């Protein structure tokens, strides 16, 4: 249920509604627009709707709106305007398009530093790199853990690039939060509800990747788990879904971008590297993602893909990002965006 306050509502008016929400045993979620404050009344099931008239009777309340969707605070009904998340001065969402790039797995300090410096020159805004890696095979490289986090933090100090890295387990959240600027929740953990809740308790920006067999509604419900715990800084990332097609690693579902933009106010990014898994197809799909309305693109890069310990076959060279970004800027300009 959404409680919309009247234009010009005072701080005391907001506090009165919030106090009533809490007294009734629900959790308030605030969204402050240019003219009005909207308060989400979050609780189990649809119990909040039983108190609709109680809120409508409050003098500072303009309207009370039930939400029929199972997700509430991620909904466009809860917040009409697009959410823009500030990541160390880099806005994710809004008119601008953000580019994240870097190695699938952090393997050596030298490779991370070389990559970060080159990406900075190319105009990439955020450095990605895996410290903990969920792998299909238990014998595949699992990541360097905290050592990799330290390499990423050093690269940030040198280049100024914020860093995004994956957290796989609720027990890792405190550790990764100390180093990362964005906590990534990978496809294999898209419905790991204990992890989602734990990330929700932080206020660190979080990027939720779509599970390989997750519907859009299930994906939004997963985002709701994070936001229901108070973390409003959530972005969504389409990275391909599993279909009958075998020509590519997954099927990159670009339909999801405009659908999500209609249903939700959260920023939407696209990862064409994992979505197709074929180096030659990554750039065309990155262009298509921007044309579809994506707020950001994630591209895997490694200075020596043949020696990469994870997903080298789909990694671009950092030096290639200069030309890649030139092409992406043209698409962005054509659809009225900036890059």
What is the per-residue pLDDT for 141? 67
What is the per-residue pLDDT for 2? 86
Yes or no: say if 70 and 221 are a contact pair by the CB < 8 Å rule: yes
pLDDT per residue as tens digits for the range 278-307: 999 999 999 999 999 999 999 999 999 988
Domains 2-65 and 85-334 share a fold: no
What is the per-residue pLDDT for 286? 98
Domain coordinates of the chain in residue numbers? Answer: 2-65, 85-334
Is the pLDDT confidence value at 30 over 90?
no
Distance CA(330)–CA(339), nearest Å, equals 9
Fold for the domain defined by 85-334: TIM Barrel (3.20.20)
Output the average pLDDT for the chain: 93
Which of left, alpha, beta for 164 (phi over 0: left; psi -120 to 50: alpha)? beta
What is the per-residue pLDDT for 138? 74
Looking at 1.20.1540.10, 3.30.70.1140, 3.40.50.620, 3.90.1150.10, the CATH number of the domain 2-65 comes to 3.30.70.1140
Q: Which residues contact 86 (CB under 8 A, 6 or more apart)?
A: 92
Is the pLDDT confidence value at 185 over 90?
yes
What is the per-residue pLDDT for 68? 75
Question: Rounded mean pLDDT of 11-36?
Answer: 87
Question: Which of these ranges, 15-24, 196-205, 321-330, has the smallest mean pLDDT?
Answer: 15-24
Is the pLDDT confidence value at 140 over 70?
no
What is the per-residue pLDDT for 135? 65
- Strands 61-65, 2-5: pairing kind: antiparallel
Question: Which of these ranges, 36-40, 198-202, 256-260, has the smallest mean pLDDT?
Answer: 36-40
Question: Which of these ranges, 36-45, 50-59, 192-201, 318-327, has the smallest mean pLDDT?
Answer: 36-45
Q: How far apart are the first and last CA of the chain?
A: 37
Beta partners for residue 296, in sequence order? 98, 269
pLDDT per residue as tens digits for the range 144-173: 889 999 999 999 999 999 999 999 999 999
């Amino acid at each position: 249920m959404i409680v919309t306050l009247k234009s010009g509502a005072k701080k005391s008016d907001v506090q009165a509604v919030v106090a009533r929400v809490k007294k009734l045993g629900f959790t308030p979620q605030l969204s402050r627009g240019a003219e009005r404050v909207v308060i989400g009344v979050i609780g189990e099931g649809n119990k909040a709707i039983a108190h609709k008239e109680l809120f409508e009777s409050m003098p500072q309340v303009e309207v009370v709106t039930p939400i029929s969707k199972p997700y509430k605070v991620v909904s466009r009904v809860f917040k009409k305007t697009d959410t823009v998340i500030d990541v160390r001065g880099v806005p994710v969402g809004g008119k601008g398009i953000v580019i994240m790039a870097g190695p699938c797995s952090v393997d050596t300090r030298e490779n991370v530093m070389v990559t970060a410096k080159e990406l900075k020159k190319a105009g990439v805004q955020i450095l990605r790199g895996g410290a903990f890696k969920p792998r299909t095979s238990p014998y595949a490289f699992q990541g360097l853990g905290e050592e990799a986090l330290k390499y990423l933090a050093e690269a940030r100090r040198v280049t100024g690039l914020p860093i995004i890295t994956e957290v796989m387990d609720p027990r890792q959240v405190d550790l990764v939060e100390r180093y990362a600027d964005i906590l990534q929740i990978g496809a294999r953990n898209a419905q790991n509800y204990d992890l989602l809740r734990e990330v929700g308790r932080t206020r660190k920006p979080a990027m939720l990747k779509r599970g390989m067999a997750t519907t859009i509604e299930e994906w939004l419900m997963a985002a709701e788990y994070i936001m229901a715990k108070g973390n409003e800084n959530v972005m969504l990332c389409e990275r391909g879904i599993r279909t009958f097609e075998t020509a590519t690693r997954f099927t990159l579902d670009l339909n999801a971008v405009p659908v999500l933009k209609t249903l939700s106010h959260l920023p939407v990014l696209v990862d064409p590297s994992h979505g197709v898994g074929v180096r030659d197809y990554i750039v065309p799909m990155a262009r298509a993602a921007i044309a579809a309305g994506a707020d950001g693109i994630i591209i895997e890069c490694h200075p020596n893909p043949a020696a990469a310990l994870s997903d080298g076959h789909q990694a671009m060279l950092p030096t290639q990002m200069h030309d890649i970004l030139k092409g992406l800027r043209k698409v962005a300009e054509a659809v009225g965006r900036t890059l």
